[in-house]
Amino acid sequence: MTKSTVYRPLCIEDAVQLARNIEGVFSPTASLRCEEIGDGNLNLVFRVYEISKDTTDSALSPRRIIIKQALPYAKVVGESWPLTLDRARIESQALIAQGQLVPHLVPKVYLYNPDLALTVMEDLSDYTIMRAGLMQRNLYPLFAEHIAEFLAKTLFFSSDLGLNQQDKKRNVERFINPELCKITEDLIFDDPYTASPNNNCDAAIEDELKKLSQDCGLQFEVMLLREKFLTQAQALLHGDLHTGSIFITPESTKVIDPEFAYYGPMGFDIGAIIANLILNTISQEHWSADEETRRQYRAYLLQMVRDIWNQFESRFRSLWDNHVVDRMAQTDGYQDTYLTRVLQDSVGYAGCKMIRRIVGLAHVADIDSISDLHVRERAQRTALFIGKSLVNMNRRIQSIDEVITACEHGIAG
């Protein structure tokens, strides 16, 4: 931790100065370059790296860091939406907690400065943001295995299954994150079902937004999922596990940005990744390649969804069989019931997340970057159809294959 300073948003020069003062990273004579690269909704992100006579390319620089600073408001909206700086603490503590369980799957944290609300961490400029990689139809053969390990270990070992119940309650206290949870409660579980000014819905699908606000059966299911999000302190979640929160290469995966971390239902994290893979699958429908190539990539992504759940389930069962700390959790039938509930929650949350990314405040580039308006409209309607199906069926789901069938049916129209 550095000495106490008054909070101010950093500029490029401040970031370079701060980087120079971190012990053991850069030599005092190093030539440093800095870029502000934040393209998310909330924070400033600086990359500081050493350049040499051989290269000024950050990805080739041997010494480089990221300085991520929370702003006192939501960048996506502006200063009219104030937001706690405590999210920088939550993010750095969540990264550290995840780093103890899956060090190869998260960036290293070098320093956290509470006064400036910033975290200094490993730079991953030689990786690609997964959303961008999927939009280029890259293949990630190890991703399902990596994310299944991330989910199984971080969720199991932070829950009452893998952690002493008193320690777990202390963790719940440490990760109370009311303001960031409120964003989720509004943007995912409320706004899409009413005429909220936060919504951002293309004029072409206004009829869909109206239907969402009139669909009592759907809203009942959303309310049950919202209730669980509000009340079930099951495990320490990442809290915003979409494909923009993942840095990836074909060989390696790093999960970033856990500022929404809090104790909630496990299915919320699993559902987030499933939703974003399905949204990309839908967007591939409209890519100008031949139909067979498109079909193959869509099948590849849906198989990835299946693999993620199956590998998560098998890892989670094995952690349970070998490391469970609660004697009563060994009761016959409990493990099966527990995992069925986690699957059902994952499917319900996946559906909610698909719906919010079409009509709510924050969209996804996979769909929004479709330039032909008719094609985009069709993709949005397909996403809403599948999202609603998943929400409606969540409490009946018994296997991941039912999810894949629902997606195939929705995409086929």
Instruction: Find the binding residues for ligand SR1 in span 218-247 (CB under 6 A).
Output: 240
The distance of closest approach from Cβ of residue 53 to ligand SR1 in the complex, given in angstroms and rounded to an integer, is 39
DSSP string, 7-75: -----HHHHHHHHHHSTTTS-TT-EEEEEE---SSSEEEEEEEEE-SS---GGG-SSEEEEEEE-SEET
| 196 contacts ligand SR1 (rule: CB under 6 A) | no
Tokens coding 336: 């099966």
Among 18, 40, 168, 276, binds Mg ion (CB under 5 A): 40
The stretch near ligand SR1 (CB under 6 A) out of 63-71, 181-189, 219-227, 376-384 is 181-189
The distance of closest approach from Cβ of residue 101 to ligand SR1 in the complex, given in angstroms and rounded to an integer, is 23
- 68 belongs to an annotated ligand binding site: yes
The stretch near Mg ion (CB under 5 A) out of 32-40, 51-59, 145-153, 282-290 is 32-40
The distance of closest approach from Cβ of residue 90 to ligand SR1 in the complex, given in angstroms and rounded to an integer, is 14
**Cβ atoms of residues 390 and 346 within 8 Å:** no
- 35 belongs to an annotated ligand binding site: no
The distance of closest approach from Cβ of residue 40 to Mg ion in the complex, given in angstroms and rounded to an integer, is 5
Binding mask 355-384 for ligand SR1 (x = CB under 6 A): ------xx----------------------
Comparing CB distances to ligand SR1, the nearer of 190 and 408 is 190
Minimal CA–CA distance to 323: which of 165, 157, 97? Answer: 157
Minimal CA–CA distance to 367: which of 378, 247, 187? Answer: 378
SS3 184: helix
Q: How far is CA 237 from CA 97, 118, 123, 155, 390, in A?
A: 11, 21, 23, 7, 21
- 43 belongs to an annotated ligand binding site: yes
DSSP class of residue 136 equals: T
- 257 belongs to an annotated ligand binding site: yes
- 356 belongs to an annotated ligand binding site: yes
**186 membership: H or E segment, kind and range:** helix 178-189
Tokens coding 68: 């991520």
Q: Measured between alpha carbons, how far is 121 from 372 in angstroms, rounded to an integer?
A: 39
Partner from ligand SR1, Mg ion, none contacting 282, C-beta within 5 to 8 A by type = none
| 85 contacts ligand SR1 (rule: CB under 6 A) | no
Binding mask 236-265 for Mg ion (x = CB under 5 A): ---------------------x--------
**Cβ atoms of residues 317 and 393 within 8 Å:** no
Comparing CB distances to ligand SR1, the nearer of 171 and 184 is 184
- 123 belongs to an annotated ligand binding site: yes
Among 2, 17, 41, 138, binds ligand SR1 (CB under 6 A): 41
- 366 belongs to an annotated ligand binding site: no
Partner from Mg ion, ligand SR1, none contacting 76, C-beta within 5 to 8 A by type = ligand SR1
Q: Identify each DSSP E strand in 180-296 by its residue range.
A: 235-237, 246-248, 253-255, 262-264
| 259 contacts ligand SR1 (rule: CB under 6 A) | no
Q: How far is CA 319 from CA 151, 163, 263, 325, in A?
A: 12, 12, 20, 11
Minimal CA–CA distance to 316: which of 234, 244, 393? Answer: 234
- 170 belongs to an annotated ligand binding site: no
The distance of closest approach from Cβ of residue 266 to ligand SR1 in the complex, given in angstroms and rounded to an integer, is 18
Q: Measured between alpha carbons, how far is 254 from 146 in angstroms, rounded to an integer?
A: 9
- 141 belongs to an annotated ligand binding site: no
**Cβ atoms of residues 259 and 180 within 8 Å:** yes
Among 11, 76, 223, 289, binds ligand SR1 (CB under 6 A): 76
Minimal CA–CA distance to 211: which of 66, 51, 384? Answer: 384
Tokens coding 198: 């936060």
In this structure, the chain runs to a length of 413
Provide the sign of the torsion angle of the four alpha carbons 202, 380, 281, 217, taken in this order: positive
The distance of closest approach from Cβ of residue 359 to ligand SR1 in the complex, given in angstroms and rounded to an integer, is 13
Partner from Mg ion, ligand SR1, none contacting 187, C-beta within 5 to 8 A by type = ligand SR1
Return binding residues for substrate.
240, 356
Residues that bind Mg ion (CB under 5 A): 40, 257
Return binding residues for ATP.
43, 68, 122-124, 257-259
Return binding residues.
43, 68, 122-124, 240, 257-259, 356
Residues that bind ligand SR1 (CB under 6 A): 41-42, 74, 76, 183-184, 187, 240, 361-362
